[in-house]
Chains A and B, each alone.
Chain A
């Protein structure tokens, strides 16, 4: 039972990273395609302001997820790391380049430097979620054997992992664009339509990928497909409805509520994956129960989670509220 609760908290952590970290990555995606330094200046500046105060806290979810995985489900962590070291190393490199590129651009005034750091930030923002998504796809399609070395290449160079990689990038772009519509609306800088168009484009892209996914998964990951079309079907439907509703509202130029719907669409798909492979942690290899570490450790982790709920969650909410009320802003570098 404790193992199931810890796994649920881990899934919540993954969901939080997908949403908040995802929106940050997505900002880098739109930064990459914002055009030249003249044309792209206004949207870039707005995105910069939006993610500046929150990206490090958002990013901490990844550390949280890794640490919980290795403490609670050590063998699974070791197996994932030994099989998928290539995409994970590439993701780690991407994370370093992205964080430092972003921080450096903020405090750089010369155009050449800003361009270099900005391009580094933007490019790694697109590449990193792809590799992280591919890792999830590799796990979900049962390509990580327990305690052995899966193939270092074919474990993630395959239809499912590529699908989830691209889906991750599309999801990030989608979330960022929807969030930025709100940001633009609040700031009244005339960028609402700019981000609405992009949010619509990203949601259509993500939707098409999901449709392709039905075909890919039914062939390449039958176990996952089976789960998604049975136990997890309600989650898939919720995700589809929320996604379509967001799309329709954005089309009509309605803003209120789209943020929540977009978040629900993404969260539902992460939980659909979890439910689909439940009770397995590594599909076909090991269940949550079997993978769980010592009971004392699981209990200790639950205590830490409770403390986190008391201290971290209110602090995070305060941070987001301050950011939302425009009470956080950078002074000149």
Chain B
């Protein structure tokens, strides 16, 4: 298949968006099941502690879920940089196979 450069960029972006959507959906479902947070509140810019009112134990539970469900290791150092739902999605996209 002979893609023009713009087509390739568009295709890659579309693939990334699909993965982002899938990961966001996973997080939304988890937040709904575990914390009863309505999916419409779980948007990329939502802050985990301030907007979604998670506490440090909730955050550890979320990390445990991500590690077991996606078979990834979440480093201690990375946790400090994760503040929003978007940060979680981005981290997963970097780490998930």
Q: Do A and B bind each other?
A: no
